[in-house]
Copies of this chain bind each other. A is one copy, B any other.
Amino acid sequence: MGVSKKEIRIGMIGYQFMGKAHSHAYRDLPFYFDPKLKPVLKVVSGRNESAVSEAAEKMGWESYELDWRKVIERDDIDVVDIVTPNHTHAEIAIAAAEAGKHIITEKPLALTLDEARQMYEAVKKNKVKHMICHNYRFAPAVQVAKKLIEDGRIGKIYHFRANYLQDFIMDPEFPLVWRLKKEVSGSGSLGDIGAHSIDLARFLVGEFDEVVGTMETFIKERPIGEMAGGLSAKSDKSTLGEVTVDDAVTFIARFESGTLGTFEATRFAGGNRNKNKFEINGEKGSIRWDMENMNNLEVYIADDEPGLQGFRLINCTEEVHPYAGAYWPPGHIIGYEHTFIHLIYEFFNGIADNQQPAPNFEDGVKNQQVLTAIEESSKSKRWVKVSDF
């Protein structure tokens, strides 16, 4: 059988939770969609040979490297995918940009706003395409929300409220993994999950004007466990180490549009495994979405006829809904992993068409500005202008 679609060859740095999500998306993309470039899983890198070789085998990568620099040096790589802990993003991305590779990276973009800006400069200077994995934008239901807003169906937006609630570190015996160390992760719930809510807000409502928030670490010390990636790890109870990031953050915001925002991101909301939800109230309608039922969008349309007004529960699995037509008949739901397929689809088509897709490093920088402003406001106990950073 003849295949002549142009290939795009990927080198992935890292192979844990996000590496798995990305690898799967590369594999599934051509099955469901017809992207302009066909992904080839060329090489994955990691420092632990037995682990990285096993991951390569399991996830379908052609080869592996022990040093990420080798991946960047390789001529047979078009895209560098960065799924390592946050403190490594900048160095890798800048090197990849200088090597002329297109770049896709996990969020948050970097440890600091400075780093983030350097990364963005690097990709602009080297004229490569870039993307940051705010995958939740790509749930079909969120795309429907976006379209409603763009089409003026919601009108002026008065309120945006978002919670991102998890509970996986509530046990004080949960160990001090890298996500709990500031020097590796930058921040805690703020940058890990709050950043997703901030991205959804920017996507749907526009830019933040000012913020005020407060961060809290409920459990200050934890057993020192293995520091490598992954959400779970065995703990060594004999020694405790300091948690240097926030367990929770709550903040309020004003957007340039005049919208009021209310946000909360926490890993201490028992019973909420991964409740990433938002609500929008506008002049002409309201929208509600919750990742735990990600296929549904709730939409209220103010000019529905009197007596029959109410939130509509829309199962966004029909051909008319973005991306949904590629899968199954209506009502046959998709899941978390599919959001990555859609993101990669847009990335590859952007590369093919020489168009820069979003969210990209510019979005990453703007997101990091908001993160920085929140951290600053948590210290100064004042409202902070996002544009001051």
Task: Contacts A274-B329, A336-B328 given; indicate if A307 touches B300 (C-beta within 8 A).
Answer: no
Query: Quick one: CB contact mask for A149-187 with B, threshold 8 Å, 1 for yes?
Result: 000000000110101011110100000000000000000
Stretch of A90-98, A115-123, A195-203, A208-216 contacting B (4+ beta carbons < 8 Å): A208-216
In Å, the complex CA distance between A318 and B251 comes to 30
Q: Is the pair A315, B286 in contact by a Cβ cutoff of 8 Å?
A: no
* CB of A166, distance to nearest CB on chain B (Å): 7
| Copies of this polypeptide in the complex | 4
Within 8 A of B (CB), among A249-286: 250-252, 254, 258, 260-264, 266, 268-275, 279, 281-286
Chain B CB within 8 A of A17 CB: yes
Contact residues of A with B, CB < 8 Å?
1, 3, 17, 21, 23-24, 27-28, 30-31, 53, 56-60, 63-64, 144, 158-159, 161, 163, 165-168, 170, 212-214, 216, 218, 231, 248, 250-252, 254, 258, 260-264, 266, 268-275, 279, 281-286, 291-296, 299-302, 304, 306-315, 317-318, 320-321, 327-338, 381-383
Task: Contacts A57-B1, A158-B248, A170-B302 given; indicate if A315 touches B292 (C-beta within 8 A).
Answer: yes
A158 to B, closest residue via Cβ? B268
A-B pairs, top 5 by smallest CB distance, nearest first, are A274-B331, A273-B331, A271-B300, A310-B314, A273-B330
Cβ of A21: which chain B residues have Cβ within 8 Å of it?
Answer: 328
In Å, the complex CA distance between A213 and B261 comes to 11
A339 to B, closest residue via Cβ? B332
* CB of A29, distance to nearest CB on chain B (Å): 12
A332 touches which of B216, B274, B307, B382 (Cβ 8 Å):
B274
Task: Contacts A292-B315, A300-B270 given; indicate if A31 touches B59 (C-beta within 8 A).
Answer: yes
In Å, the complex CA distance between A107 and B163 comes to 29
Cβ of A299: which chain B residues have Cβ within 8 Å of it?
Answer: 308, 310
In Å, the complex CA distance between A23 and B27 comes to 13
Q: Is the pair B266, A159 in contact by a Cβ cutoff of 8 Å?
A: yes
Cβ of A338: which chain B residues have Cβ within 8 Å of it?
Answer: 335
Task: Contacts A31-B24, A281-B269, A335-B335 given; indicate if A311 touches B308 (C-beta within 8 A).
Answer: no
In Å, the complex CA distance between A268 and B300 comes to 13
Q: Is the pair A332, B328 in contact by a Cβ cutoff of 8 Å?
A: no
A312 touches which of B213, B274, B291, B309 (Cβ 8 Å):
B309
Q: Is the pair A286, B260 in contact by a Cβ cutoff of 8 Å?
A: no
